Amino acid sequence: MATTMQQRMLEAMLPADLAAEPERWQQRKSVRTRIRLVEAAIDCLVEEGYAGLSTQKVAERTGASRGAMHHHFATRMDLAAAVVEHVFYRRMRGFLDDYLGSVAGARDEALFEISTEAYWRSVQTRDYAAYVELAVAARSDGDLERVFLPAARRFDAVWIGEMIESFPQWQARWETMKLVNDFVVTAHMGLLLNLPVIGERRAALVRRLVARTVAMLHAEAAAGAFEV
Amino acid sequence: MATTMQQRMLEAMLPADLAAEPERWQQRKSVRTRIRLVEAAIDCLVEEGYAGLSTQKVAERTGASRGAMHHHFATRMDLAAAVVEHVFYRRMRGFLDDYLGSVAGARDEALFEISTEAYWRSVQTRDYAAYVELAVAARSDGDLERVFLPAARRFDAVWIGEMIESFPQWQARWETMKLVNDFVVTAHMGLLLNLPVIGERRAALVRRLVARTVAMLHAEAAAGAFEV
DNA sequence: AAAGAAACCGGCAAGAGTGCCTGTTTTGCC
DNA sequence: GGCAAAACAGGCACTCTTGCCGGTTTCTTT
């Protein structure tokens, strides 16, 4: 059941690259180098920002030639688009791996707290750093935005949809669940970006406040589930 | 009293450019073009991101020559540093202007809500967009980070310090005040960046939740002021 | 095995950006 | 009026990146 959920969510976010595992060796090799290129691109993105994501550096990093790079991704934006797909997929996979491990056998009441902590961990990953870079770059780059926003909305839709599907017993509290989710997502993104300024200590206090707010909403929803 | 606070805060964040108003016409003209260049640079930053902040485009935008540009800012990073200073100053000024206008004659209980709303407005400005761009770019650009972080910390220190200075009657609740401040700052930054994905409606719900949390903390602190 | 396709290589021209440098104009001081 | 200094103009050389293209190697198919 849990694995089914994971499978469904991952499949919904699967990049076109990884859709079909081909049997021909040539194509398989092609897929492998494509993935290597995208991985290197993510490294570039994290280390040097969206501006540093150049086809040249990515090719150099993987040891591939510029020709091979251009064969797989004709333009820089093609590469960026592939990176967007992969980053969302990897974020989903990373979170699910961590979350499903820590949630095993937890009580209903602890669920929100466990989820929140898992989410905070996910925010501190390399994949999330890449995601932030893309999200911000998309604000001032129309071409990137046209690739990024649909992917982000799909991620959101899969996330919310699966959340609803997975907890049918909370039907009356779905709106609250969605709100809690949005709240945690936004608060943690802001927290990550402000971390260098406010420092670990204050960040931990804010994180505790976020957890308290989530708990408060959860308690409220549990009490008033039939009044809404 | 209120104007004194405003003056103190602004003075503490005043860029070196604007420190002294010179009487010589030549220097005054120099300051004016410097400011014009920085303003154009902020436009670049907002419209095209940190990567699009080039000395060339900025010079072109103001009608100045590349020589003039180079005279005022020898390197791109010199320009970026000036932009950092100005952006923080402008953010401070913009918020104070708005806030001091809306807070006039408000009751203590309404203060947090008014502040929160003023802060959300400030987050939606052009200056804040520039700030976000710098904050994210500083994550992957060491040179920029060395300019940005100290300025950000100074902004934070001035903010917190003045908050404490302005509300001596809340001495026992200072820690809570600081927490509330950090919470509002982080939550709203995350909210802004997630706005394109979650949309206005959900963002408004999150915003209401933030306000509720702030109110809750305020009520708590008011009740247990002497227990802490 | 031979043709065709797919993956891969590396060079070319064009464009943008940077830092530096030499002049030219405008202003300030005596 | 004249000299020094500051503000401003624009050229030069260099680097980096992009997109494209002709050629080569490595499968795949028949």
pLDDT at A225: 52
What pLDDT is stored for residue B23 in this prediction?
67
Q: Give the up-direction half-sphere exposure of residue B115: CA atoms within 13 A in the CB hemisphere.
A: 19
Q: Between the CA of residue A95 and those of A16, A104, A139, A181, what are the distances in Å?
A: 21, 14, 25, 14
Residue B127, number of CB atoms within 10 A of its CB: 21
Q: Does at least one atom of strand C sit less than 7 Å from the CB of B70? A: yes
Q: What is the pLDDT of residue B26?
A: 67
Asked if residues A42 and A126 have their Cβ atoms less than 8 Å apart, the reply is yes
| B106 Cβ contacts chain C strand, under 7 Å | no
A49 and B52 in contact by Cβ < 8 A? no
On whether the CB atoms of residues A149 and B197 are closer than 8 A, the answer is yes
Contact B209 A183 (CB under 8 A): yes
CA distance A83 to A131: 10
Q: Tell me: the pLDDT tens digits for A182-200?
A: 999 999 999 999 999 999 9
Residues B15-38: tens digit of each pLDDT: 988 877 666 776 777 888 999 999
| pLDDT of the residue at B140 | 97
Main-chain dihedrals φ then ψ at residue B9, nearest 5 degrees: -65, -45
In this prediction, residue B223 has a pLDDT band, given cuts at 50, 70 and 90, of confident
Is there a domain that residue B178 lies in?
yes
The answer to whether B122 touches B91, Cβ cutoff 8 Å, is yes
Residue in B141, B188, B205 nearest the CB of A179 = B205
Residue A218 lies in a domain: no
Which residue did the predictor score with more confidence, A125 or B164? A125
Per-residue pLDDT, averaged over B190-194, amounts to: 98
Mean local confidence (pLDDT), A41-45 = 97
Which pLDDT does position B22 carry in this prediction?
67
Length A76 CA → D18 C1' (Å): 8
Burial pattern A75-94, b for ≥16 Cβ within 10 A else e, equals ebeebbbbbbbbbbbbbbbb
Rg (CA), chain B: 20
Q: Is A109 exposed, middle or buried (0-12, 13-18, 19+ CB in 10 A)?
A: exposed
Which carries the bigger pLDDT value, residue B108 or residue B153? B153
Q: B139: Cβ–Cβ under 8 A, 6 or more apart, which residues?
A: A49, A129, A132, A196, B145
pLDDT band at B51 (very low <50, low <70, confident <90, very high): very high
* Minimum distance, in Å, between the CA of residue B219 and any CA atom of chain A: 14
Token pair listed for B33: 């073009």
Percent of chain A with pLDDT over 90: 67
Which nucleotides of strand C lie within 7 A of protein CB? 6-11, 16-23, 26-29
A213 to B213: CB separation less than 8 angstroms, yes or no? yes
Does any domain span residue A202? Answer: no
Cα(first)–Cα(last) distance of chain B, in Å? 30
Q: Which of A172-181, B164-173, B192-201, B211-220 has the highest mean pLDDT?
A: B192-201
Mean pLDDT, range A48-68, rounded to an integer: 95
- Indicate the number of domains in chain A: 1
Residue A188 has its nearest CB partner, among B50, B190, B209, at B190
Contacts of A213 in chain B (CB under 8 A): 209, 213, 216
Q: For residue B78, give its domain range.
A: 2-222
- Kindly determine whether the C-beta of residue B23 is less than 7 Å away from any atom of nucleic acid strand C: no
Please report the residues numbered 155 through 174 in chain A whose beta carbons come closer than 8 angstroms to any beta carbon of chain B: 156
CB contact at 8 A, A199 and B200: no
CA distance B218 to B17: 40
Q: Which nucleotide is nearest to A26 (CA to C1')?
A: D27
Give chain D positions with protein CB within 7 A: 6-11, 16-23, 26-29
- pLDDT value of residue A174: 87
A54 touches strand D (CB under 7 A): yes
By C1' distance from the Cα of A74, the closest nucleotide is D19
> What is the band of A163 on the pLDDT scale with cuts at 50, 70, 90?
confident
Q: What is the mean pLDDT of chain A?
A: 90
Name the minimum distance, in Å, from the CA of B184 to any CA of chain A.
9
Report how far residue B19's alpha carbon sits from residue A139's, in angstroms, rounded to the nearest whole number: 33
The proportion of chain A whose per-residue pLDDT surpasses 70, expressed as a percent, equals: 95
* Residue type for position B162: E
Q: Is residue A194 part of a domain?
A: no
Structural contact between residues A55 and A76, judged by C-beta atoms closer than 8 angstroms: yes
A52 close contact with B: CB closer than 8 A:
yes
B74 Cβ contacts chain C strand, under 7 Å: yes
* DSSP structural state of residue B125: S
- The per-residue pLDDT for range A93-111, each reduced to its tens digit, is 999 999 888 888 788 778 8
Segment B158-173, tens digit of pLDDT:
999 988 888 887 788 8
**Confidence label for A227 from pLDDT (cuts 50, 70 and 90):** very low
Record: contact B213-A217, CB cut-off 8 A: no
Angle among Cα A139, A123, A164 to the nearest 5 degrees reads 90
Question: Are A120 and A184 within 8 A, CB to CB?
Answer: no
Q: For C5, which residue's CA is nearest its C1'?
A: A26
B141: which residues sit within 8 A by CB, 6+ positions away? A48, A49, B50
Check whether A136 has a pLDDT greater than 80. Answer: yes
Contact A187/B187, CB-based, under 8 Å? Answer: yes
Q: pLDDT for B78-125, tens place per residue? A: 999 999 999 999 999 999 999 888 888 788 778 888 889 999 999 999
Reported confidence tier of residue A164, pLDDT bands at 50, 70, 90:
confident
C-alpha to C-alpha distance for A32 and A55, rounded to whole angstroms: 17
Residue A2: pLDDT above 60?
A: no
Q: Which nucleotide is nearest to A65 (CA to C1')?
A: C9
Chain B, 114-143: which have a CB under 8 Å from a chain A CB? 129, 132-133, 135-141
CATH number of A108's domain: 1.10.357.10
**Best CA proximity match to B150, nearest among A228, A197, A65, A112:** A197
Q: If pLDDT is split at 50, 70 and 90, which confidence band does A5 have?
A: confident
